Amino acid sequence: MNYSELLKNIYEEVKGLPLEGKVASYIPQLANVSADKFGMSLLTVDGKEYKVGDTDENFSIQSISKVFTLTHVMSLVGETIWERIGVEPSGNSFNSIVQLEYENGIPRNPFINAGALVMADLLVSKLNDPKKDFLEFVRKISGNKNIEYNLAVAKSEKETGFMNASLVNMLKSRGNIHNKVEDVLDFYFHQCSIEMTCKDLANSFLLFANQGKCAHLQDQIISGSQVKRISALMLSCGFYDESGEFAYKVGLPGKSGVGGGIVAVQPQKYSVAVWSPKLNKKGNSSLGMKALELLTTKTGMSIF
């Protein structure tokens, strides 16, 4: 497969499309990002890299970080995570407090905000220095020792994160948060503020295409069985309430974030990351969704 030529063709096609949607503005720092950015990076399991566009520019990964927290939590506590979080699509907004109350404080899945807050609580309990240790974990699986939190974004999220504060207090009232609410929120806001490039994200997600091993280290981060479970959740729950649409049009497990990033995996073949900040009404990158649809359409390969 000539991925280099393929990515160039996809780039030319999507850059000719109208820039629909708008940059996330409810987190003030994200509103400052240039709307016309576009990058796409693909890494194969045998170590080949293909890229086009703005692939070496850092951006806020936001909810993509929830895959990293899930991976880290599962590496520490295994299947006991599912005593506190479900594995079903929510069918509601990613920050719905009504559903959380109705289901007695057990979030539907790890990728809605309530589920991510429970994972944050687990990491605050398990790690000696949660923010430092988690950042080191992300650096390890990405192969980039220079990855950092964007403290301005974390501060911006803290100042506007009223719904997340409501969710974590609801969880606390139902006994599903074990640490101080302030500590859990602080970790969560920092987690979402991590900045990475398309290349970093593709490198990080390669372990899901490589049976749980980091290709650059050959370290076994999680088991093949855990890869299967995380990939299943990415397919069914990774794109807010547009997950069915992504599975239908793209056919790969993946995760999006309101920073405009999307990462997806073709098991045993490649990982691919795309970044374009303008979001559709469901909170996913408009051009990113289209680029990945073109990728699987043109290659004729998906998981189905």
Would you name the residues annotated as active-site residues?
63, 66, 188, 240, 258
- Joined together, the tokens standing for residue 34 give 């240039």
In contact, 165 and 186? CB cutoff 8 Å: no
Q: How many residues does the chain have?
A: 304
- Joined together, the tokens standing for residue 38 give 């576009």
In three-state form (DSSP H/G/I as H, E/B as E, the rest C), the secondary structure along 25-91 is: CCCHHHHHCCCCCCEEEEEECCCCEEEEECCCCCEECHHHHHHHHHHHHHHHHHHHHHHCCCCCCCC
CA distance 154 to 208: 27
In contact, 259 and 30? CB cutoff 8 Å: yes
Return the CA Rg of the chain. Answer: 18
